[in-house]
Amino acid sequence: MDHYDMLESKSIYIIREAYYRFRNIAMLWSVGKDSTTLLWLIRKAFFGKIPFPIIHIDTSYKFPEMYQFRDRLSKEWGFELIVGRNEEKLAEGMGPGKGMKLECCTELKTNALKQVIKKYGFKAIFLGIRRDEHGIRAKERYFSPRDEQFQWDYENQPAEIWDQYKSFLYAEEHYRVHPILHFTELDIWQYIKREGLPIVDLYLSKEGKRYRSIGCVPCCSPIESSASTIDDIIEEVRTSKQSERAGRAQDKENIYTMQKLRALGYM
Amino acid sequence: MKKALIIGIDGVPYELLQGLIEKGCMEGLKKIIDSGYRLHRMHASLPDISSVSWTSFMTGANPAEHGIFGFTELALNTYELYFPNSRDIKAPLFWQSLREQKRIKRSIILNIPNTYPAFPVDGLLVSGFVAIDFDKAVYPGNYIPILKDMGYIIDVDLLKAREDRDGFYNDLIESMKIREGISKKLLGEEDWDIAVVCITETDRLHHFFFNEKDTPLFDSFYRKVDRFITSIYNTAIKRYGDDILFLVLSDHGFEKLKTEVNLNAYLQEAGILRIDKTREFYERIDTGTIAFAMDPGRIYINYENRYPRGCVKEDGAETVRKKIKEVLFNLRDGNGVSVISQIFEKEDIYKGNFMQQAPDLVCIPRRGYDLKGNLRKDNVFTRDIFQGMHTWDNAVLITPEDIKINKEINIEFPPGIIKDYFEKR
């Protein structure tokens, strides 16, 4: 078994265990490379037929390429797609240009997802987050006292790890399951290459620029890059010092600052 | 060679510490105190917020000199929300001044709030709350991998308190243990003349558990705080001998929280604040607003020449202030208990180059009534999961007993002790 078989089988084990425990489960798909990889792993775990719905949260500000990719793949891979939109806030004109970005993310992503979870009564959600993705998320958990235990649980009792990885995004009544937590950014690209997975072509360089992380148009900016194939990207990621989300909105720090202040009752 | 060790215990009130020492929960600290130290009651900064108070400690200056008035601020001449950080500190820090005078060389500064992003120091600085990106929280950068390897943690996951109280409590204990181990190692192996080590876990405990302050939960937590203080102290005296200057201090006190008081909801009811709900945050402040509040009890007058939708003329300000004070003093809860016990005008409490930025009024509430400045709440009185609130008049300072203090002091005082110690021959 090589490295990627190991990563894969770990993920598949978690996916199957989660499905066994929570039949009323769904997966959150951002259309980005990580959650598309997760989607592929889920497909593999159930021999090509995904037995639960896939949720896409549509802020209405995504790249057109992302919508096309979403619709194409859901048809090709034949899964049930739930599109979640916070229609009320969209009707009020909520958008990144309005106030702080956190408010926009909260309404159009978090609350839209909450609405979907409530409507369908999901008990657990699969998410494609990775431990190395962003310092704030990973690091704090990494330092968490239960992390040692987590390592052990990871192999033996996946049911208990899930509530260790509470993500700030979602209400408390459901579990979050993170089957690709142990993948690094480089692992993802190597795995995409090995499996021949489709990706949104925004990741590939056009006129000297490419997106390393994709989301809503106003909050993403491309990085300087000539990587126009997956192989080029692998080489770039291997040698890059810049953080993956460096192209995301500058006030990401403000968002986290506000979150921390609010957690203590300020703001 | 002179050495100073300062331990910060964020949010620990004078009475609580005294009580726990008497109760026998802090035997190590009691032994140190019995060897020649004394507890003093001390005022926090105004407002009594960690970032403001610790900056007053670091600079020995009042907010109008150092420029920090809260965790939040509005960008000049706008309603745009802004989060001040270490870059906004306008006064020199005591270790910088002492270094410049060549009284000291190396400092190790660990976890003081409002030191993010990390900035140059001869020695080592690791930022405290609100530090976001660890790579920007350490100076010099070559300590980043070292600290990561040691498992350093800036803060616990605060959001966990909402979902898993027991887990959160355990996290606090664990993070204090990690902090203790790393601080001991750094202070035991690196050279330093000044070392400041802060624990913020105390403040976190109080925010979420202060209603249990008389229970074994606190006793057991403070036994660990005691272990933290004594083991850092012992590391220092083992290395440099026991004639070092040793101080322990908190940046504000704490009290059980009865209710949150949303000042802006009240100001709105009183016709002093007008809100446009289609906008966000402080942009919600609408034409016709006379004044608004920011956390915790800062009141800003909506001056015509200062804010985009300002309407109060500078020359009528006296009357306006008087009216706002009257309105605020009239605020009562459902039982008729008045909420605000004191209101300071900015000229009474601040002095310095940054008066312009200062809130016009600062309110001190009755104990138990936690003043809030957000613009999202429609009700004046609300409750959330928080069990404790900051207090102004009962921070604590422990000094050697030969340091004579016979006046009221606030948190700008202790850096003077440190300066005197290094300056005297």
Q: Do A146 and B167 touch (CB under 8 A)?
A: yes
The verdict on B242 and B264 lying in the same domain is no
- Residues A174-185: what's their mean pLDDT? 85
CATH number at residue B89: 3.40.720.10
3-state secondary structure string, chain B?
CCCEEEEEECCCCHHHHHHHHHHCCCHHHHHHHHCCEEEEEEECCCCCCHHHHHHHHHHCCCHHHHCCCCCCEECCCCCCEECCCHHHCCCCCHHHHHHHCCCCCCEEEECCCCCCCCCCCCEEEECCCCCCCHHHCEECCCHHHHHHHCCCCCCCCCCHHHHCHHHHHHHHHHHHHHHHHHHHHHHHHCCCCEEEEEECHHHHHHHHHHHHCCCHHHHHHHHHHHHHHHHHHHHHHHHHCCCCEEEEECCCEEEECCEEEEHHHHHHHCCCCCECCCCCHHHHECCCCCEEEECCCEEEECECCCCCCCCECHHHHHHHHHHHHHHHHCCECCCCCECEEEEEEHHHHCCCCCHHHCCCEEEEECCCEEEECCCCCCCCEECCCCCEEEECCCEEEEEECCCCCCCCCECCCHHHHHHHHHHCC
Which residue in chain A is spatially nearest to B79 when comparing CA positions?
Answer: A99
The verdict on B186 and B197 lying in the same domain is yes
Cα atoms in the 13 Å half-sphere on the side-chain side of B305: 6
The pLDDT confidence band at residue A158, using thresholds 50, 70 and 90, is very low
ipTM of model: 0.89
CATH number at residue B322: 3.30.1360
Q: Do B163 and A166 touch (CB under 8 A)?
A: yes
Interface test with A, best of B81, B130, B207 (most A CBs within 10 A): B130
Query: Poorest-confidence range of A70-84, A175-189, B316-330?
Result: A175-189
* Residue B403 confidence (pLDDT): 95
* Tally of domains in chain B: 2
Contacts of A143 in chain B (CB under 8 A): 151-153, 175, 178
Percent share of chain B, pLDDT over 90 = 88
The verdict on B62 and B158 lying in the same domain is yes
Contacts of B200 in chain A (CB under 8 A): none
Contacts of B159 in chain A (CB under 8 A): 166, 168, 259, 263
Contacts of A148 in chain B (CB under 8 A): none
Considering only CB atoms, A264 lies closest to which of B135, B158, B167, namely B158
Q: Do A135 and B158 touch (CB under 8 A)?
A: no
With b meaning 16 or more CB within 10 Å and e meaning fewer, what string describes B144-168?
beebeeeebbbbbbbbbbeebeebb
- Identify the domain containing residue B31 by its residue range: 4-256+389-423
Interface test with A, best of B71, B79, B208 (most A CBs within 10 A): B71
pLDDT digits over B194-250, tens only? Answer: 999 999 999 999 999 999 999 999 999 999 999 999 999 999 999 999 899 999 999
pLDDT digits over B306-337, tens only? Answer: 899 999 998 888 999 999 999 999 999 999 99
The answer to whether residue A208 neighbours chain B at the CB level (below 8 Å) is: no
Which residue in chain B is spatially nearest to A254 when comparing CA positions?
Answer: B83
The verdict on B396 and B381 lying in the same domain is no
* Residues in a beta bridge with B299: B293, B361
* Residue A169 confidence (pLDDT): 32
Give the length of chain B: 425
pLDDT digits over B361-392, tens only? Answer: 999 999 999 999 999 899 999 999 999 999 99
- Residues A237-242: what's their mean pLDDT? 71
Q: Do B157 and A166 touch (CB under 8 A)?
A: yes
Which residue in chain B is spatially nearest to A172 when comparing CA positions?
Answer: B163
The pLDDT mean for chain B works out to: 95
* Residue A138 confidence (pLDDT): 40
The verdict on B317 and B249 lying in the same domain is no
pLDDT digits over A113-125, tens only? Answer: 888 988 998 988 8
Contacts of A100 in chain B (CB under 8 A): 81, 280-281
Q: pTM of the full predicted structure?
A: 0.69
Size of the A and B interface in Cβ pairs below 8 Å: 89
The answer to whether residue A266 neighbours chain B at the CB level (below 8 Å) is: yes
Query: Poorest-confidence range of A5-19, A140-154, B16-30, B258-272?
Result: A140-154
Give the length of chain A: 267
Q: Report residue B54 as tokens.
A: 């610790």
With an 8 Å Cβ cutoff, the interface of chain B facing chain A consists of 71-72, 81, 83, 129-130, 132-135, 151-153, 155-164, 167, 170-171, 173-175, 178, 204, 207, 260, 278-281, 283, 295-296, 370, 372, 374, 384, 386
Q: Report residue B155 as tokens.
A: 């803060």
The distance of B125 to chain A (nearest Cα, Å) reads 19
For residue A105, pLDDT beyond 80: no
Considering only CB atoms, A253 lies closest to which of B132, B159, B160, namely B132
The verdict on B410 and B369 lying in the same domain is no
Contacts of B384 in chain A (CB under 8 A): 265
More confident residue, A55 or A209: A55
Q: Report residue B73 as tokens.
A: 């601020």
Which phi and psi (to 5°) does residue B349 adopt? -120, -20
Percent share of chain B, pLDDT over 70 = 100
Q: Do B83 and A100 touch (CB under 8 A)?
A: no
Q: Do B71 and A261 touch (CB under 8 A)?
A: yes
The verdict on B377 and B401 lying in the same domain is no
In the three-class reduction of DSSP (H, G, I as helix; E, B as strand; rest coil), residue A227 is classed as coil
Contacts of A145 in chain B (CB under 8 A): 170-171, 173-175
Burial label, B331 (beta-carbon count in 10 A; 0-12, 13-18, 19+): buried
The verdict on B265 and B179 lying in the same domain is no
Considering only CB atoms, A135 lies closest to which of B133, B159, B160, namely B133
The answer to whether residue A100 neighbours chain B at the CB level (below 8 Å) is: yes
Q: Do B171 and A144 touch (CB under 8 A)?
A: yes
Q: Report residue B337 as tokens.
A: 């208990």
Contacts of A135 in chain B (CB under 8 A): 132-135
Burial label, B189 (beta-carbon count in 10 A; 0-12, 13-18, 19+): exposed
How distant, in Å, are the alpha carbons of A202, B314, B392 from that of A221? 11, 44, 45
The verdict on B76 and B135 lying in the same domain is yes
The closest of B327, B289, B322 to B308, measured between CA atoms, is: B289
The verdict on B139 and B223 lying in the same domain is yes
For residue B360, pLDDT beyond 90: yes
Percent share of chain A, pLDDT over 70 = 77
The verdict on B299 and B151 lying in the same domain is no
The distance of A88 to chain B (nearest Cα, Å) reads 13
- Residues B73-102: what's their mean pLDDT? 92
* Residue A170 confidence (pLDDT): 36
The verdict on B55 and B117 lying in the same domain is yes
Q: How far apart are CA A262 and CA A109, in angstroms?
A: 18
